[in-house]
Amino acid sequence: MQSTPPVTLPSPGEPRRECPRVALCEPDTLLGALLAEWLHRAGFEPVRCGIGDPVGNVVLVVADVPAPRADGAACIAHLRRAFPGARVLAISAQFAPGLHGANCTAAAELGVDAVLAKPFAVKAFVDTVHAALRRST
């Protein structure tokens, strides 16, 4: 895995500059719309897409991984090819409840920058997005 520096986010008092783009690969329409709204409110430019859809200039990919143990590795490998250089946050209802963050065994085992178990609250989601972007590889 190539080394990617942490993404610099604007401070709350700073004037807005171009928002970091986040690819959002969530097949559920309602959840995808909600996550896009949360990302937008947190200062990101969410772009809804499928796992293989071309989206340029992305700093993070938030992807639903429905079966992390069965096909998670193949899914993540595909994401890494489709979004080279982007961080990856895997979300799944198959993760243990309460599992989140970049410093956990599941993230390392899956080869992603952070994981988050569904269901989750807005704060856990935004905190995990920021943790994935701050993580140095």
pLDDT tens, residue by residue, 85-106: 899 999 988 887 766 655 566 7
SS3 85: coil
Say whether pLDDT at 17 is over 70.
no
Q: Is the preceding omega at residue 119 within 30 degrees of 0, hence cis? A: yes
Confirm if 52 and 78 have CB atoms less than 8 A apart: yes
- Rounded-to-integer distance, Cα 90 and Cα 133, Å: 13
- Rounded-to-integer distance, Cα 53 and Cα 112, Å: 19
- Rounded-to-integer distance, Cα 51 and Cα 122, Å: 23
Which residues, 6 or more positions from 25, have their beta carbon under 8 angstroms from its beta carbon? 49, 50, 51, 61, 62, 63, 64, 79
Work out the pLDDT band at 76, boundaries 50, 70, 90.
Answer: confident
Say whether pLDDT at 38 is over 90.
yes
Tokens 């429905």 map to which residue?
A: 66
Pairing type for strands 100-101 and 114-117 reads antiparallel
Say whether pLDDT at 73 is over 60.
yes
In one-letter notation, the amino acid at residue 104 is C
CATH number of 26-134: 3.40.50.2300
Work out the pLDDT band at 55, boundaries 50, 70, 90.
Answer: confident
Confirm if 62 and 86 have CB atoms less than 8 A apart: no
| Lowest mean pLDDT segment, chosen from 6-20, 34-48, 81-95 | 6-20
